[in-house]
């Protein structure tokens, strides 16, 4: 059963309203126990089944959704099958069918979807009427419909935004963007890594919100890397000019960052969440942005970091049997197969490897 504090954290994560620190805590919780990931996947399916996939912007909506889940969990626990001893006493015992949490809530939403729809229409109409008479003319931010694109390990995605700006989303990343841009800015939200080619718009800035920072541009080409399980966030600029600003200067994650940083072409801004310090340097274009063209560059990179990146790109697991913290790799891959990658690591490090297959495909590479 998911605890209250964990439920709050997971719901904020699903709603893309978590801080960077909360996202890291969720990732650690998922990796701690396979049961945690199983519970999260079921909760995610329930979240996607909510009527109209609503945004939960008030405390009452959060509490309402959470209470429904907790109630279903209690019902499931109360309806647990009899023990082995009870079964032996009751010879006519027939195992009781116990619907899963997902099945129960799916039934709930199907059964009451019409009533919920009527209530929601009334609420939305009232809220829209209030805004019409109490908001400035032309303010249509409340009518924005948001899209969300999530990539899994081993896959990338190319997205064309409403202003015809292009985004290439790296593996294990998430991009949230509106159906159309309105107002004086173009705002999107990123977790993970993406490459951007932004269409110039003299009157509307383009803002990428990621891991507690916003990167603001007018028209340019740049890369943002902000994975929730890494201590480093970076912005690499190819063309144009960008400004990087902490979104909350009082946050523990960004408290030592400058109020704003402006980059020129061929500069890379790097912020370390451990020591809370940032720096600006020139950078290797292939190392920072080559991933979008299937180019992977390692320069004296620790083996543990090499494995993490390869897992994300190829969608397979890499493990080591032994302590290889002092093993570093310098090499380059250009669209190579996973088998060639494993052989290069073997020759570069002097290690051997074995594989565990899954559905006749390599699922895990173990180096020893």
263 and 205 housed in the same domain: yes
Of the listed ranges 182-186, 196-200, 205-209, the one predicted with least confidence: 182-186
Of 237, 257, 287, the residue at which a domain comes to its end is 287
66 and 188 housed in the same domain: no
254 and 338 housed in the same domain: no
103 and 128 housed in the same domain: yes
Is pLDDT larger for residue 299 or for residue 202? 299
pLDDT band (50, 70, 90) for residue 204: confident
Global pTM?
Answer: 0.60
Q: What is the pLDDT of residues 82-119, one digit of tens each?
A: 444 433 333 333 344 344 444 444 444 444 454 445 54
Check residue 119 and give its pLDDT: 47
305 and 201 housed in the same domain: no
315 and 280 housed in the same domain: no
Domain count across the chain: 3
The Cα–Cα gap between 318 and 201 comes to 44
Check residue 54 and give its pLDDT: 47
Residue 195 lies in domain? 149-287
- Which pairs from 51-59 meet CB under 8 Å and 24+ separation? 51/109, 51/113, 51/116, 51/117, 51/120, 52/120, 54/120, 55/15, 55/146, 56/11, 56/15
158 and 267 housed in the same domain: yes
142 located within any domain: no
Of 287, 313, 333, the residue at which a domain comes to its end is 287
Residue 231: φ, ψ to 5°: -85, -5
Of 259, 287, 315, the residue at which a domain comes to its end is 287
31 and 121 housed in the same domain: yes
Is pLDDT larger for residue 209 or for residue 15? 209
């Amino acid at each position: 059963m998911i605890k209250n504090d964990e439920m709050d954290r997971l719901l904020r994560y699903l709603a893309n309203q978590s801080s960077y620190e909360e996202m890291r805590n969720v990732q650690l919780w998922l990796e701690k126990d396979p049961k945690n990931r199983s519970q999260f996947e079921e909760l995610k399916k329930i979240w996607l089944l909510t009527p109209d996939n609503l945004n939960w912007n008030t405390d009452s909506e959060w509490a309402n959704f959470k209470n429904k889940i907790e109630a279903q969990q209690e019902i499931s626990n109360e309806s647990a099958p009899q023990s082995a001893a009870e079964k032996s006493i009751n010879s006519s015992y027939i195992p009781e069918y116990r619907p899963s949490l997902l099945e129960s809530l799916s039934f709930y939403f199907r059964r009451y979807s019409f009533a919920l729809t009527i209530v929601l229409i009334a609420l939305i109409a009232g809220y829209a009427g209030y805004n019409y008479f109490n908001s400035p003319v032309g303010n249509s931010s409340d009518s924005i419909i948001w899209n969300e694109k999530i990539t899994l390990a081993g896959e990338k995605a190319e997205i064309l935004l409403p202003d015809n700006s292009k985004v290439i989303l790296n593996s294990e990343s998430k991009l949230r963007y509106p159906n159309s841009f309105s107002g004086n800015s173009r705002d999107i939200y990123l977790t993970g890594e993406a490459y951007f080619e932004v269409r110039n718009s003299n009157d509307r800035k383009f803002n990428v919100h990621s891991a507690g920072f916003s990167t603001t541009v007018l028209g340019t080409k740049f890369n943002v890397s902000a994975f929730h399980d890494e201590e480093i966030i970076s912005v690499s600029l190819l063309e144009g000019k960008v400004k990087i600003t902490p979104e909350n200067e009082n946050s523990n994650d960004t408290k030592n960052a400058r109020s704003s940083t402006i980059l020129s072409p061929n500069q890379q801004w790097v912020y370390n969440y451990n020591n809370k310090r940032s720096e600006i340097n020139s950078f290797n274009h292939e190392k920072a942005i080559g991933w979008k063209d299937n180019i992977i560059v390692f320069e004296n990179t620790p083996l543990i970091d090499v494995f993490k990146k390869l897992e994300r790109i190829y969608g397979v697991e890499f493990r080591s049997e032994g302590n290889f913290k002092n093993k570093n790799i310098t090499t380059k891959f250009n669209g190579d197969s996973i088998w060639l990658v494993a052989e290069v690591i073997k020759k570069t490090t002097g290690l051997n490897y074995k594989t565990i297959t899954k559905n006749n495909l390599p699922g895990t590479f173990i180096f020893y």
